[in-house]
């Protein structure tokens, strides 16, 4: 159950109207890396974790709810940056009412340009945010990643927080309003905090690599193909032990075409730098399949089922519905 508290999580303020920056800030309202996308991403991911991983459900729902709070901060900031626009647009009898809100003719032309390139903003919204990005592209459900596996979703969430963080960092370069900067810095910093939360949650799932259940084919996991000409860069991503276990290393393929021909299209590739055998992979696949399957099945009741307890005084979802009042 959601409960709206009227006080914003952070005291959003602006020094004065700035329609142009308001249009840019739409990126964090209805854009791919914005607050609504984040809220819906974590909200959607949470459902499949409710019974098997109630602690992760609690975290995802908490962060999703905070993202809705951030959406309100962004929307409030956009609206304040457009203060006066709605009233002036309704002043139909005056020839150029927007002159009052902009810096002379040049400022008015900037606002009109924004209206032409993003017609929903100003013309249809009339002084509030629209559910689009900064270019007027409508919000899309395709922004939402939910794969039903926490070792995948939590990594996706960390990447999403990183993208949101850098977007706020870039946005701060386009306004010199210290009060707006204060709000953006808060929102940017919360992306850092969420990144750390998701990383810590991922660490509690062991093993969590490779993501998902099935292990990789040892013939191909440690191979790096040199697929560019000229000078070659070498580093822990293609030489030495890198991220692998002790005693393992990358296999650097300097001549990929020759390698592919010699191995009959990788079919006869004898792996180098890998200790894991195909038999060990098969055994690990069975072990992980059983482990992950039991984690879910042991906490998931067959129908009928019930989502919440009343009151919900523990994290777990009830295994069986309360039928005493049926």
Residue 279 annotated as part of some ligand binding site: no
Most distant CA atoms of the chain, gap in Å: 81
**Is 145 labelled as part of a ligand binding site?**
no
CA atoms in the 13 A half-sphere facing the CB of 189:
7
Q: Is 141 annotated as a binding-site member?
A: no
User: What is the chain's Cα-based Rg?
Assistant: 26
The reply, when asked if residue 62 is annotated as ligand binding, is yes
Residues 291 and 281: their CA atoms lie apart, in Å, by: 15
* Residue 67 assigned ligand-binding role: yes
Closest alpha carbon to 225 in 252, 243, 263, 250: 252
Cis omega (within 30 of 0) for bond into 304: yes
Q: Are 65 and 167 in contact (CB under 8 A)?
A: no
> Residue 222 annotated as binding?
no
3-state helix vs strand vs coil in the chain, percent to 5: 50, 0, 50
294 is an annotated ligand-binding site residue: no
194 has binding-site annotation: yes
Known binding residue 313? Answer is no
228 is in an annotated binding site: yes
Binding-site residue ranges for Mn(2+): 35, 67, 70, 161, 194
Please give the annotated binding residues for Ca(2+), written as ranges.
Answer: 58, 62, 226, 228, 230
Which residues define the annotated binding site?
A: 35, 58, 62, 67, 70, 161, 194, 226, 228, 230
């Amino acid at each position: 159950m959601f409960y709206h508290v009227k006080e914003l999580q952070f005291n959003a303020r602006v020094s004065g109207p700035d329609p142009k920056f308001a249009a840019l800030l739409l990126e964090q309202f209805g854009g791919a890396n914005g607050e609504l996308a984040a809220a819906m991403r974590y909200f959607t991911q949470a459902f499949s974790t409710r019974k098997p991983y109630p602690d992760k459900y609690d975290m995802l729902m908490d962060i999703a709810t905070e993202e809705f709070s951030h959406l309100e901060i962004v929307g409030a900031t956009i609206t304040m940056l457009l203060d006066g626009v709605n009233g002036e647009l309704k002043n139909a009898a005056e020839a150029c009412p927007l002159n009052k809100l902009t810096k002379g003719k040049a400022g008015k032309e900037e606002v009109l340009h924004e209206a032409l390139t993003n017609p929903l903003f100003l013309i249809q919204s009339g002084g509030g945010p629209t559910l689009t990005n900064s270019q007027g592209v409508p919000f899309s459900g395709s922004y939402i990643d939910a794969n039903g596996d926490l070792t995948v979703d939590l990594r996706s969430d960390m990447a999403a927080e990183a993208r949101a963080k850098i977007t706020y960092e870039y946005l701060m370069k386009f306004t010199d309003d210290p009060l707006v900067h204060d709000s953006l810095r808060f929102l940017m910093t919360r992306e850092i905090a969420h990144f750390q939360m998701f990383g810590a949650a991922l660490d509690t799932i062991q093993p969590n690599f490779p993501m998902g259940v099935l292990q990789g084919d040892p013939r191909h996991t440690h191979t790096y193909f040199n697929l560019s000409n000229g000078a070659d860069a070498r580093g822990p991503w293609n030489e030495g032990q890198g991220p692998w276990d002790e005693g393992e290393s990358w296999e650097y393929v300097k001549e990929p075409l020759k390698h592919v021909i010699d191995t009959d299209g990788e079919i006869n590739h004898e792996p180098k730098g890998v200790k894991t055998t195909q038999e060990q992979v098969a055994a690990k696949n069975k072990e992980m399949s059983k482990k992950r399957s039991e984690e879910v099945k042991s906490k998931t009741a067959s129908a009928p089922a019930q989502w919440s307890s009343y009151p919900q005084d523990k994290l777990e979802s009830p295994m069986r519905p309360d039928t005493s009042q049926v």
